Structure 1
């Protein structure tokens, strides 16, 4: 069914708002809208009650707020589709249960199998089939060093006879060598475990259909890097030029097919010239870029809070914490025996910094390395990069940026903002109210 929910140049239209408020990826947002269209067609062509899934109902609630668009859709369907909320009583429960079963049969007769992530789950990321861990990474990270210090006291008591027999610098040399070897074995285990984890979920349609920009954000974990790519393409296509003072000027206001580029164009229309720092900050605050960030972070948080991922982190913390505790126990023994511990203290500081960095690396490895590496192989095999600058940017990053543009992306706090004093403003939600979380369906005539 042909029906456009968005204005071509709108910065905060239906799709963007739907994705932003629910932290959905671009693919899932479009899929949910498509399923909503199918549902509305079923509602319009059947006199008996049909019922949406939780995801479709979210789209429906959102569309009801866009009253003109909703009226236009009903006119196209030649039927006013009324939304009937559930009262959660027993009679309604049975009525809506029958309606859901009827909807499934009607859907499968016309459209085939219902997409599971939209019709079978209240939260689409439940389709990843992860059990949530009872532990939180943030809390584990905060307590890691304290647990290591606390553990040092019993370890010192147990291995004290051994500690006093090993002289410096033999202890430090042996410890550093052992630390390096254990890190190598730990790295092998972590990579193997995380790759195995991703192998189990990579066929999920939400992950399989991540966009090039979503993957750039996964890979770099910086939203400004996405803005770099968008602005660079505008410069390459001579819609924006770099002036001799390093500022940017829009010379072609015509809209293009890329919504992110159109967002940059709309920002720049308000100014004669702009510093890139100002443009980048303004762009990252726009809904279309904010939606991308939130959608990716939500996937990241779901994976990193799973039992499978947390178990890898916990084992890594146990190994690294035990190594730190041995070093702390050596320090305690040295203080107890009134031995010089200056070099030992410096070694402790260095090992703590390295360990903290390594734990952060483990936390990011899945998202900055493993997932992007799978997509890099697939993109090169499918030759997507031959027709899309977005995929080229994902593959090659800063390598494809214009040589004149690269220096101004490294802006600092001293870079001046735009010449114009007028503000471009920011989009905000036009409606603060929301509908209830559950819905029964729509009535038939």
Structure 2
């Protein structure tokens, strides 16, 4: 770059597309409507500015990527900002859509090649993702399972029920040779074996999918702390609490005496965060600033709810990944082996007029245990990993960590306001998001397996009130 071009690029790069007073400004609208992460949005805007700079200094036509074109389209709708931007560039840059005319493809191809050469001359290599993908979802290189194998839980259950009859005839010769005490022991051992292996395959499948998601996708590694919170918890109130706690710690907000009503502190200090500024503006402009009202107001704003759509898309990518679906099939096979064995015994005992009450209770209890365990297991792993092991760290403290993991969000927020305002809040210490959150969740993983084992004793022996379908 020559001196004039350097000066122009400096001004273009510094040009603000967002206003700090807007709750739904340019970048928030862009990320919300396209399900982009914060870093992806920032990089897309930067690449858009580079493209417009090249358009301003070039005599030949330049061509944007699909992502940059999305940014350009939105900027055109912000007419006053776009006009000011073109004035800064010293050139009115018109958006010329494709018409599909004969020969246009060759012209566009030449424009793409020219743009790449010009870009690399001024800015080194292009951002490979921003200049190649059509959506943020396309940037997530996580292998998805074939639709033929991605069966719902109800479909898997239906397949299992249909296979029970033929498997009954396979188990029958074996079951006729097994007496009641031996059968009970085998059933209990089979249940324990299934719990251990299902836990292993659940963790293995999720960890494989998560590792692939994180290590193969730089924008997942670059998630901001606020995105990680919403993606993990699917709860914008917890993120609002996180922002409120920052405002308390930075002494930009405080509680009124003997109440949970908030007020803005008269200070020259300002927050650079869009969410925090919006909360501050709301507190300043409204007299009824009870913490619960502020939490509800903030948590329903688009600058927070936008993360929900992105989180849902990421969660769907993980849950429908090849790694998890393959392990789900293995888990389904283990459960089928166990329950085809138990149900075959139940059918055989019923046909032979043997007592089967204890066996029926054992089957029902174990089914309930597995249902409760598997229903939330992936959610627990998902929440834990995104809060603890994502490659994004944030300075926090044990008190804030307790709030984020507290199920009663409103009560936790009220305690935050009262404690910090009264001067008894926590002293800030240096610790990572990984250390604080993982430590608080370390005891969760064993609960399901323990509860499963405790129910096994219900079938420890056969009594006069029923039996296990044997002799």
In the alignment, the residues of structure 2 paired with residue 118 and residue 307 of structure 1 have an alpha-carbon distance, to the nearest angstrom, of 26
Q: How many residues align?
A: 397
> Residue 155 of structure 1: CA displacement?
1.9
For residues 25 and 165 of structure 1, do their structure 2 counterparts lie closer, same or farther at Cα, with a shift above 3 Å needed?
same
Aligned residue in 2 for 1:102: 114
- Deviation of the 1:20 alpha carbon: 0.3
Cα-Cα RMSD: 3.2
Task: Report the Cα offset of residue 373 of structure 1.
Answer: 3.7
Q: CA deviation at 1:36?
A: 0.6
Q: Please tell me whether residue 88 in structure 1 is matched to residue 100 in structure 2.
A: yes
Cα distance, 1:344 vs structure 2: 3.1
1:366 deviates by 5.4
Q: Which ranges in structure 1 are unaligned for 5 or more consecutive residues?
A: 386-391, 412-445
**How far off is 1:363 after superposition?**
3.2
What SS does the corresponding residue of 1:12 show, helix, strand or coil?
Answer: coil
Report 1:1-400 matches (<5 A). Answer: 1-135=13-147, 139-168=151-180, 171-203=183-215, 204-236=217-249, 237=251, 239-241=253-255, 244=258, 247-252=260-265, 256-269=271-284, 271-364=286-379, 367-375=382-390, 379=393, 385=395, 392=396, 398-399=401-402
Aligned residue for 2:262, secondary structure, equals strand
Partner of 1:429: none
Hey, what's the Cα distance between the residues in 2 that align with 1:131 and 1:400?
35
CA distance in 1 between counterparts of 2:385 and 2:363 reads 31
Q: What secondary structure does 1:250 align onto?
A: strand
Q: Distance in 1 between matches of 2:257 and 2:168?
A: 65
TM-score (norm: length of structure 1): 0.78
The structure whose RCO (Cα within 8 Å, separation 6+) is larger is 1
Name the CA distance, whole Å, in 1 between partners of 2:359 and 2:331.
23
Looking at structure 2, the residues matched to 333 and 347 of structure 1 have their Cα atoms a distance apart, in angstroms, of 16
Give 1:9 deviation, angstroms. Answer: 2.3
After TM superposition, the structure 1 stretch with the greater mean CA deviation from structure 2, 130-139 or 68-77, is 130-139
Residues 171 and 361 of structure 1: CA distance in aligned 2, closer, same or farther (over 3 Å): farther
Contact 2:231 2:307 in 1 (8 A): no
Moved more, 169-178 or 147-156: 169-178
| Distance in 2, Cα, partners of 1:276 & 1:146 | 49
Whichever of the two has the greater Rg, that structure is 2
Could you tell me which residue of structure 1 aligns to residue 441 of structure 2? none
1:46 CA displacement = 0.5
